[in-house]
Amino acid sequence: MLQRMQVLSVTQLNKYVKFLFEGDDALRMVCVSGELSNFKRYPASGHWYFTLKDADASIPGVMFREANLRLPFQPQDGTRVLIRGRVSLYERDGKYQFYADDMQPDGLGALWLAYEQLKERLATEGLFAEDRKRPLPAIPRRVGVVTSGSGAAVQDICRILGRRFPAARVVLCPVQVQGAGAAEQIAAAIALLNQYAAADVLIVGRGGGSLEELWAFNEEITVRAVADSVIPVISAVGHESDTTLCDFAADLRASTPSAAAELAVPEQAELLARVKNVGDGFCLAIRRALEQRSKALAQLTARRVLQHPGALLQTARQRLDGLLMQLDHAQGRRMMEEKARLARVCARLDTLSPLAVLSRGYALAKRADATVSRAELLRPGDRLALHFADGSATVAVESINLKTGEA
């Protein structure tokens, strides 16, 4: 009997079985629920491989990169999912498996799971840290608004800004706030306003809605644009019960666009009142200072020196006269002392003067302008000049008599 049957190779058999699987319309598009296990990601290819199981059975599955890139959440072991796809045979191993085209959490919305996963990842990076948040400018000159150009949100924002602080200019950058491409438009608008420093503070938001309608403000590109903004950002998405990831990344969160406008600018009337109070305080301080200076000036002008400045001069003159008298007295006494000292010196000089000796009958003998003080220095015939107290005479030496008796 084996001889009469057609003999197939393993490859032929697997191809045939695969043909049967793929030819069955019921297996071309099927939705299966189960729990993921043995979940693996292959970074090189981007494909996911897993086992889908329930309490009694399991089936291997694969989700190729082009399909899993569309998912807004990251599956993991233990996640209960609904998978849509087809059933076929992997020829090489002879195993049938599930080829997934779409996947979503079973019992928990895919968007909510994606929201929680992205929130945890960005929080771990520090994008929501309080120390990254900056204070809003006290008096902004320009308020940038990133929202729909035709929605109620922009009308509320402009109305409140105009009422609270008309001096502030509104720089509107209209964008799509929901649907495909909305997140990219919002991020691009924030980057554009930062590039040109077009505003002092930004309001980024829209009115309320479902999680799906608000999803553009939960996408990573939008959240990172808000976190990277150099201009302080007020996130104003939805109503009080709605919290988006942009709310966590922004410098300040407002419950509604209207509340954001209230936070963005000061109340002009309150500001003017504060300016008036400050001005009044300055005027009061100046008035008190003037009063104190006036009192000090009055006290100065009441002093005797300013009331009768001549009296101070009279006292100074009297003191000067006394000093002059002391100076004259001291000068006279000094002159008398110097005169007495001069007289004593003159008397001593007179005693030592050769003229005084001559006046007593002595003479001074000179030979050729040299004084002759001893007789032994002379020779007979020498001519001498004799100087007396009242004149001089020229004489010739005839003989020399020394005390020893020798000539």
Whether residues 60 and 150 share a domain: the answer is no
Separation of alpha carbons 365 and 185, rounded Å: 137
- The total of structural domains in the chain comes to 3
Residue at 321 is within a domain = no
Whether residues 228 and 149 share a domain: the answer is yes
Whether residues 143 and 250 share a domain: the answer is yes
Range of the domain at 364: 358-396
Separation of alpha carbons 187 and 175, rounded Å: 10
Eight-state DSSP code of residue 137? P
Residue at 238 is within a domain = yes
Separation of alpha carbons 181 and 183, rounded Å: 6
Whether residues 34 and 100 share a domain: the answer is yes
Could you list the pLDDT tens digit for every one of the 407 residues in the chain? 445 677 788 888 888 888 887 778 778 888 888 989 999 999 999 999 999 998 889 999 999 999 998 887 788 888 888 898 999 988 888 889 999 998 888 765 667 777 888 998 999 999 999 999 999 999 999 999 999 998 889 999 999 999 999 999 999 999 999 999 999 999 999 999 999 999 999 999 998 887 778 899 999 999 999 999 999 999 998 765 668 999 999 999 998 999 999 999 999 888 888 888 888 888 999 999 999 998 888 888 777 767 777 776 777 788 888 888 998 888 888 899 889 888 888 888 777 777 676 777 778 788 887 888 788 888 888 888 888 878 888 888 888 888 765 44
Are the C-beta atoms of residues 136 and 263 closer than 8 Å to each other?
yes
Eight-state DSSP code of residue 233? E
Whether residues 58 and 102 share a domain: the answer is yes
Domain endpoint, select from 214, 231, 266: 266
List phi, psi (to 5°) of 185: -65, -45
pTM beyond 0.95: the answer is no
Alpha helices in 170-256 (DSSP H): 182-195, 220-228, 245-249
